[in-house]
Amino acid sequence: MQGWSKIPRGISMFNTLYVFENYPVQEQSFDNELLILGFDGLEQTNYSLTLAVIPDEQLTLKLMYDLRYFEKETINHLYNHLVEVLKQITEDSPQKKLNELMYLTDRERNQLVVEWNQTNVEYPQDLLIQDLFESQVQENPDAIAVVYEDEEWSYKEVQEQANQLAHYLQKRGVGPESLVGLCVERS
């Protein structure tokens, strides 16, 4: 398969592996001389992530990973997602379609939909945007306010630039209620 692909030799085609170990393990004897009662195996793969499924009276899942590629926290999230999907498959209606399965836990779903999606922010209704910006300059003058490509400006630097522009415009006769056109690059 690798010869047919555009992936050069020496580079792995896959970095994950799924294994379904479905080989029978039973007590067997061969000509009354050898009796196999069970066995243990040492598992090692060259893949960064491996999921092995072993059927028996209970289904056993083994999730193996390479510490060079994954942090334990990442694997714990992956494990919890796998458990969540398996719970839904076994507990919910067998008529449920695959695209209806949710891999997020209730806690993660709440975090994404509710906690991280809070858009209501209380702010003083009697202040203008420039007043709010000025308070940010006072509280966090060196914090990054604007990032564009490889440039970063702190709140203090933005305020200085705005003040320079304001003084320039005032010298040209621009005052309150004056319309000023801006020509800037699209960004």
Walk along the chain (187 residues) and give the pLDDT tens digit of each residue. 777 888 888 787 888 888 888 766 555 555 566 655 666 666 677 889 999 888 888 888 888 999 999 999 999 999 999 988 888 888 866 778 888 888 998 889 999 998 898 888 787 889 998 899 999 999 999 999 999 889 999 999 999 999 999 999 999 999 989 999 989 888 7
Q: How many domains does the chain have?
A: 3
Q: Is residue 8 domain-shared with residue 52, that is, in the same domain?
A: yes
82 in Cβ contact with 61 (< 8 Å): yes
Structural domain of 100: 71-116
Residue 176: inside a domain, yes or no?
no
Phi, psi of 59 (to 5 degrees): -75, 130
Q: Is residue 81 domain-shared with residue 51, that is, in the same domain?
A: no
Q: Is residue 133 domain-shared with residue 80, that is, in the same domain?
A: no
- pTM of model > 0.85: no
Residue 15: inside a domain, yes or no?
yes
Which H helix or E strand runs over 51?
A: strand 49-54
- Both tokens of residue 114? 């509710």
Residue where a domain terminates, one of 31, 48, 68 = 68
Q: Is residue 59 domain-shared with residue 75, that is, in the same domain?
A: no
Q: Is residue 17 domain-shared with residue 46, that is, in the same domain?
A: yes
